[in-house]
Structure 1
Amino acid sequence: MVASVWEWLRRKKSLVDAFFAAPVLLLAVPSMLGGAFGMGAHWYALLTVVLVGPLVLRRTFPRAVFAVIALTSFVQCLAGVEPVPANIAVLMGLYTVTACRSFRWGLAAMLVAEVGAALVAWRYPTGTDDRKYTFIMLTVLVAGVYVLGLHMRTRRAYLRSVEERAERLERERDNEVKVAMAAERARIARELHDVVAHNVSVIVVQADGASYAIDTDVGRARQALDTISSTGRLALAEMRRLLGVLREDDDAGAFAPQPGVAEIDDLVEQVRASGLAVAFEVDGTPADMSEGRQLTVFRIVQEALTNTLKHGGPEVNVSVRLRYADDALEVRVADDGRGAAAFDDGRGHGLAGMRERVSVYGGDVRAAPRSGGGFEVVARLPVREEVPA
C-alpha cells in the first residue's frame, strides 16, 4: 500500500511541488492583508504569484523555473521593492537545480543566488555593519541550501546505482541458475547413457544365450527371455527419462560406471574420515531400483553431506536415513549445525541440481533449516516405473 502511494506521488510531480509551495504562499498572506512592504495589495499579490507560481513546475523544468524566479527577484531589486516572504522561492529553485541537474548547473545557480545576496546587501542597507552582516547571513544561507542540494543529488545517484546493481545481480543469478541446470541436465544425460547402455548389453547377452539354449534347454531359454523382458522395460523407462533431458554438446570424456545405493556406505566412511560424525541407517527392505535411481539417491546423500561439511560448522552430527516403502524411497539427511545462520554466498547450485535429478523420476525434494537448529534434506523418490505396453 505504501509503495503504491509512493509510486503515485512520484508520477504526480506538479501536485507534490504545489504542496511544498503552499506554505510559502500562506506565509505571504498576512503581509498582503496588512499592507506591509510599502505597496498595494494587488501589486504584492502579483509579485507573490510570479515568485511562487513557477514552483509548481520546479522539478519538471528546474532551470527554467529558477531563471524566472531569479529574474523576477532581480527586477524587484532594481525597482527598489523590498524583499518579501515569497523571495524564499529563490532558495527553493536553487535547491531543485542542484539536486536534479548536473554539478555545473547547480554551481551556476549557486553563483546567481550569491549575486542576488550581494545585490540585496547593497540595495537595502541600514548601515555599514548591517550590510556586511546581511551579506554574510545570506551567503551562509545560500551555501547551506546548495550543500543540501548536492547531498540529495549524491544520495539519489547512489540509490539509483544500488537499484541497478540489484537488478543486474538478479539477472546474473537467474542466468547462473539456468546455466547450472543445463549443465546438470547434460551430466544426467551422460549418467543415464551408462544405465541404458548397460541394459542393452544385458539384453544382447541374454538374447544370445536364449538363441543357443532354445533347442536344448527350454527352461533356461524362457528364463533368458524373462530377463530380456524385464531389462527391456527398465531400459525403456530410462530412455523415456533420457528423452526429456536437454543435453548439451560437451567434452565429457570416457564414460565410467556410476555409484549407487551400495556405495553409500563407502561415502559415509569417507566423510567420517574427514572428521564429521555420521550415523547411517536403513529402514525397510531395500527395493530393486534402476541404476539411474540409485545414482540419484547417491548424489542426494553426497550433496547433503558436502553441504554439511561446508556450512555446518565445527562438531556437527549428521544422520543419514534411507526408508523404503512399497512404492517409494525416502532419503533424509539431517544435521545439528548452523542451519539458517550458515553463510550462503548465493552461488551454489547443489540444491538446484538435486531437485533437477529427483524431478526426472517424478520425485520431490525439501531442503530447509530445521526449527530446532541445523539443516535437513528430505527427498522422496519412486523406486520403480511401469512402462505401458
Structure 2
Amino acid sequence: MKPQLPSAVLNLLQPVGDQLADLGRALLTPVDGRAPLMSGARRAWVRWLPYLVAVSAVATLLPVGTVVLADSYGVPGGVAGALALMQSGPLLLAITRPLQAWWVITGGTVLGAVLTVDSPESAGAWPWPVTTLLCYVFLMPALALRERGRTLVAVWLVTLAASIVAADLHQPRAGETAAIAVTVSGAVLLLGWSVRGRGEAQRLLAEQEQISEAERERSTLLEERARIARELHDVVAHHMSVITVQADSAPYRIGGLPPEAVEEFGTIAAAARSSLSEMRRLLGVLRSDGAAPDRAPQPGLAQLGQLVETVGQAGVRAELTVTPEVAALGELPSAVALSAYRIVQEALANVVRHAPGARAEVRLTAVGRTLRVTVENSPGGRPAVEGGEGTGHGLVGMRERVRLLSGRLETGGTPAGGFLVTAELPVTTLGESPR
C-alpha cells in the first residue's frame, strides 16, 4: 500500500502548486503582447524549435557550469549551482521575454565575476568562463529577432563597458576573453538584426502584392459593373425615355381620344417616369462600389523612394533615378501616378521573387507629354525563393493598366541575362479620374 500525504500537507501544497502554475503561464506569455519566437511558422517543428534549443542549452550548460564554477573557480557547491542557474535558466525565458532574460543573465555574470575575482589564473577565463560566455551568446539571437535596434545597441554598449572595466582590473587575464565577448556578441546581434530586417521587408512586399492583387480584382469588378451600367443606359433607359415622351404627347398628337384613353396614356407616362427614376438609382449603384467613397490617398511617384528602400531590405539592390523632364510635366493625373507606382511595384516584386540578390535600376523619364517608366535588373545572385513562381498575373496586370491609359508596355530579357520592363504612359489626354 502506497503511503499517502496527510490532507493538511496537501492543503498547504495546493496553493504553492497553483502559484507555480500561474508563474509558468506568465513566463510563457510575451510581456509586450507579441507572440513567442517562431510562433508564426507554418511547420510545427519550426514553432517548437526555440523551446527545444533553449531546453537543450539549459540541460547542458547548467550542470557543466556548476561543475566548472565549483571545481575550477572554487565556488561552494550550492552557490555554484545557484549561480549557474541564474546564468543559464533565463534562456527558457528568452523565447517570450528576451530583454528580461538579458537582465537576469547580466546580473548573474556580474555576480559570478565578483565571486571569482580572486580565483587563480589556472582556473580559466575571467570574467567570462566558457559556460557563462555561451549562455550570453545563446541569448543574443533572441534579442536580435525581437527587440528594436536602439535596444540592441544599448545591450552591446553595456557589454563593451563591462568588458573594459574587467580588462582594466585584470588586464593579463581578462583582456582576451573580454575582446571575444564583445566581438562575438556584436556579430551575433548584427547578424540577427539583419535577418530580422530582411524578413520584415519580405513580409511587407507580400502584403503589397496582396493589396495589388485585390485592387486588380476590384478594378475588374468595377469595369464589369460599368459595362452593365452603360448597356442599361444605352438600351433600356433610352427606350423608357421614348415611351415617356410618346405617352405624354399622345393626347396632343392624336385627336378625338376618349377620356379613358387619355387617362391610360397618363398612367403609362407616370409608370415610365417612375421606372426611369429607379433606373437612375440602379445606375448609380452599378457605377460605384455601393459604399462610401474611398478617400485614402493613393500611392504615386512620391512613394517610389520608400518602395525602393523596402526592396533593398529584401536583398535586392535597387536604385531610383528621376530625370528633370518628369518634374516639367507638372502634377500628374492620379491614374498615371498610381499606374506608374503599381508597375514599378510589380516589377520589383518579380525581381525579389525570381532573381534574389540581383541589382535593379528604376528610371523615370519623360518624352514630350509621355511618362516613361523603366525597370531593369541584372541576373540573380542566388536561386529563386521557394514558391517564387508567383500567381502569373503580374505582367497581365501591368498590361491592363497601360491599356486603360492608352499607353505601351514592353517586357523581355536583356542580353546580360536580366529582365527589362518599359512602360510609356501618355499624360496629355488624361484628366483626374472620378473618385
Q: TM-score range by the shorter chain?
A: 0.3 to 0.5
**What TM-score do you get using the length of structure 2 for normalisation?**
0.40
**What TM-score do you get using the length of structure 1 for normalisation?**
0.44
Query: Of the two structures, which has the highest relative contact order with CA contacts closer than 8 Å and spacing of 6 or more?
Result: 1
